[in-house]
């Protein structure tokens, strides 16, 4: 068999599977020290479980979900109902099934009426807490069918309904109203998880009492706790809980006029460049702040004339001018908590011409070679810049920025920055849907430059798939079809399909929907392993026993046998023969029926295709594990099915003529 090797960037390797070997090196290879983005999503869910104070009626919701497989959560906004929904489903996370946040109405999302939406063991979240009346009414119409499929598949469904919305009488039984947990308990749980010493927050505090006097939403309490955590980390040894809370309260004040007055007093470009740099890289080491500040000036225009080195003001003096300081560990922070956020908002809102330059500067900054420029510092820079785009509703600008970062010369750090920027967009409650649609358009319709296709593979496989696997499936399919030779898309698609029978069924249906193109046939062969097709899940039939799956397999195999050379499909057919030999029975025998049925549809070429199948089965005997008699019995069974298909009657495999066919 002919093989080829492609070497691109000299930093690392990967192998894409059977067939020709393509070697991808460099920017396409994720840093082995970086946690997978999917694990980041899992870590966030684990964090929710740790900090959640069970709201009122959580026990009833848990019992309803256990008894019926479904629960409809109601509750006032800010009561923690959506976090409770995710935690409830997480308790049913097992080896089977996937977590799927249902998005009825979005592209490639199945209808709630479609039983194919649910597979055994799935954990389904339908968050309609912000839905308007028509959308909620449409969803209710589909809930009975969805609940039926959930019950049949032993899956679990949590619906979060709009507070005060009408609920059909037939669904009232499943409704549980979540009540807001005590605010002080929620705050203390967050502080405990933030490692704030218990003896500090166990005593009453006037600021905490004042803050909790109003019925704060859970997200506001979580934010306040995080501010206290940050104040604690930046505080001097003699400062205690009261000081941390005061700093957290002050950080919530509107500082626009204060920052505006500071900027007005800083007339020189180096001063403002340093102010912006500290705000965007807050907490970074002073060496990074110094280099990045100079880099911002050069990004904006020609560097200013510099005085002799020893005549220049040192960094400490310059930081004092902008109310920042260097900590004993060498890291730079503003003296006031959350002042960096106010500075970022000021420059973004009042100097709009600066925005495109910040994107170019960020790309140059993440490329700096410095031991202090850690992954956390790079990610923080990307998150802060993305935050400004998202805060002001400029998702399209953030998407274009991520595309530009990864469309130029290969750079691992820019590749990671682009992934992180798109992750921020997908996670934004207001603009996540827009980012999902943009990613679809990129994958399906756009010509992608540089590393951007690989960026999209990573985003779909690790970010989108963690909550919206159906959408990830479609986008990875397009990437594998159009960019399979230059990305990890085929491998990522296989990994995703291996996680769910439902996703495998959907991919096979997609591949068989029309005349498969050559790229589709390659994708099919990569995803037609016999084991997941023949293994039943729970009480369900095996996939190969489903009529729709049989039709998809037959259509794809016919196109493969008629359109590809034998050397392309023989290893995959041999794997089917080996499986039949090792697992005799009706389910495995269906694999032979499908192969023979597909060959029979090859028109004038069916005789040659039958001969190639038989020759492949004979070859498979030599490499079959286990009992050789079973392997030869599989070949005999195949030949009898071929003979029946040709209406020749049963034929023994020992005849000379039966041993000869090759193609």
Average pLDDT, consecutive stretches of 10 residues, N- to C-terminus, the chain (663 residues): 34 36 34 46 81 94 96 95 93 80 87 90 94 93 95 94 94 96 96 93 93 92 96 90 94 90 92 96 96 94 60 82 93 94 96 96 96 96 98 97 92 94 95 96 94 95 92 96 91 94 94 89 96 82 93 96 94 95 88 95 92 94 88 93 77 36 35
The two structure tokens encoding residue 468: 């919206």
Q: Within a domain: residue 431?
A: no
Rounded distance, CA 605 to CA 74, Å?
62
Taken as a whole, the chain contains a residue count of 663
- Cβ(76)–Cβ(180) below 8 Å: yes
3-state secondary structure 586-633: HHHHHHHHHHHHHHHCCHHHHHHHHHHHHHHHHHHHHHCCCCHHHHHH
Position 342 scores a pLDDT of 95
Domain shared by 322 and 372, yes or no: yes
Q: Are residues 130 and 189 in the same domain?
A: no
Same domain flag for 555 and 650: yes
Domain, as residue range, for 602: 528-663
Shared-domain flag, residues 226 and 313: no
Domain identity same for 541 and 592: yes
496 lies in some domain:
no
Whether residues 535 and 654 share a domain: the answer is: yes
132 belongs to a structural domain:
yes
Element of type H or E holding 211: helix 206-213
Asked whether residue 33 is domain-assigned, the answer is no
Does 659 lie in the same domain as 560? yes
Helix, strand or coil for residue 71? strand
Angle between helices 566-582 and 586-600 (to 10 degrees): 150
Number of domains comprising the chain: 4
167 shares its domain with 105: yes
The whole-number pLDDT of residue 538 equals 65
Q: Would you say residue 479 lies in a domain? A: no
Question: End of a domain among 350, 365, 392?
Answer: 392
Is 14 domain-assigned?
Answer: no
Structure confidence at residue 306 (pLDDT): 61
Tell me the two tokens of residue 635.
């070949």
At 575, list the tokens: 């794997």
Torsions phi, psi for 107 (to 5 deg): -60, 135
Q: Is 272 found in the same domain as 386?
A: yes
Q: Are residues 263 and 149 in the same domain?
A: no
| Domain shared by 145 and 202, yes or no | no
Report yes or no on 325 lying in a domain: yes
Same domain, 308 and 201: no
The runs of H, that is alpha helices, within 126-182 are 133-152
Looking at 392, 425, 459, the residue that finishes a domain is 392
Both structure tokens of 45: 């869910």
**Last-in-domain residue among 177, 205, 220:** 177
Report the largest interatomic distance among the alpha carbons of the chain, rounded to a whole angstrom. 100
Strands 175-177 and 99-101: unpaired
Would you say residue 580 lies in a domain?
yes
The dihedral sign for the CA sequence 570, 572, 578, 584: negative
């Amino acid at each position: 068999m002919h093989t080829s090797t492609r070497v691109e960037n000299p930093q690392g390797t990967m192998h894409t599977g059977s067939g020709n070997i393509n070697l991808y090196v460099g920017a396409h290879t994720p840093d082995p020290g970086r946690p997978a983005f999917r694990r980041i999503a899992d870590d966030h869910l684990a964090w929710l479980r740790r900090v959640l104070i069970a709201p009122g009626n959580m026990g009833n919701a848990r019992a309803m979900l256990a008894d019926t497989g479904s629960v409809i959560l109601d509750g006032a906004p800010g009561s923690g109902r959506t976090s409770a929904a995710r935690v409830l489903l997480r308790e049913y996370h097992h080896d089977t099934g996937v977590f799927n946040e249902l998005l009825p109405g979005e592209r490639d999302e199945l209808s709630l009426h479609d039983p194919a939406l649910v597979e055994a063991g799935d954990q389904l979240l339908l968050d309609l807490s912000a839905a308007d009346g028509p959308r909620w009414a449409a969803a209710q119409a589909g809930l009975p069918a969805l609940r039926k499929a959930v019950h049949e598949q032993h899956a679990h469904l949590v619906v979060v309904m709009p507070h005060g919305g009408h609920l059909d009488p037939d669904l009232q039984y499943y409704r549980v109203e979540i009540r807001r947990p005590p605010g002080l308990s929620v705050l203390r749980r967050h502080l405990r998880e933030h490692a704030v010493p218990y003896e500090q927050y166990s005593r009453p505090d006037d600021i905490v009492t004042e803050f909790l006097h109003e019925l704060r939403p859970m997200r506001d309490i979580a934010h306040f706790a995080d501010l206290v955590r940050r104040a604690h980390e930046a505080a001097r040894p003699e400062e205690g809980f009261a000081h941390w809370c005061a700093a957290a309260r002050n950080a919530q004040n509107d500082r626009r006029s204060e920052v505006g007055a500071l900027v007005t007093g800083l007339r020189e470009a180096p001063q403002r460049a340093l102010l912006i740099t500290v705000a965007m890289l807050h907490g970074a080491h002073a060496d990074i702040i110094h280099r990045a500040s100079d880099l911002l000036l050069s990004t904006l225009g020609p560097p200013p004339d510099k005085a002799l080195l020893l005549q220049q003001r040192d960094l400490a003096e310059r930081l004092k001018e902008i109310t920042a300081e260097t900590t004993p560990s060498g890291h730079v922070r503003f003296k006031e908590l959350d002042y960096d956020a106010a500075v970022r908002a000021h420059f973004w809102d009042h100097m709009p011409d600066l925005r495109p330059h910040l994107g170019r500067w960020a790309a140059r900054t993440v490329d700096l070679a410095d031991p202090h420029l850690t992954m956390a510092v790079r990610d923080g820079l990307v998150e802060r810049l993305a935050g400004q785009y998202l805060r002001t509703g400029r998702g399209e600008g953030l998407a274009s920025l991520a595309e530009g970062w990864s469309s130029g010369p290969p750079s691992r750090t820019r590749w990671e920055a682009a992934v992180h920027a798109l992750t921020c967009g997908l996670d934004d409650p207001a603009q996540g849907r827009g980012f999902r649609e943009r990613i679809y358009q990129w994958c399906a319709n756009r010509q992608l430059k540089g590393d951007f296709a690989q960026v999209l593979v990573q985003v779909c496989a690790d970010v989108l798939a963690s909550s919206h696997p159906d959408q990830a499936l479609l986008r990875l399919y397009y990437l594998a079809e159009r960019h399979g030779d230059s990305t990890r898309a085929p491998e990522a698609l296989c990994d995703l399909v291996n996680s769910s029978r439902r996703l495998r069924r959907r991919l096979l249906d997609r591949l068989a929907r029309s005349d498969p193109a050559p790229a589709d046939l390659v994708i099919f062969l990569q995803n037609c392993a016999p084991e997941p097709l023949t293994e039943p899940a729970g009480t369900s039939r095996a996939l190969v026993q489903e009529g729709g799956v049989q039709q998809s397999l037959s259509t794809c195999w016919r196109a493969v046998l008629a359109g590809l050379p034998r050397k392309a499909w023989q290893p995959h057919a041999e794997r089917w023969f080996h499986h039949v030999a090792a697992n005799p029975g009706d389910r495995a025998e269906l694999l032979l029926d499908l192969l023979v049925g597909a060959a029979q549809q090859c028109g004038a070429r069916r005789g040659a295709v039958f001969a190639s199948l038989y020759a492949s089965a004979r070859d498979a005997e030599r490499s079959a594990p286990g009992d050789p008699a079973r392997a030869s019995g599989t070949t005999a069974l195949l030949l009898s099915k071929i003979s029946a298909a040709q209406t020749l009657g049963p034929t023994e495999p020992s005849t000379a003529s039966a041993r000869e066919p090759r193609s």
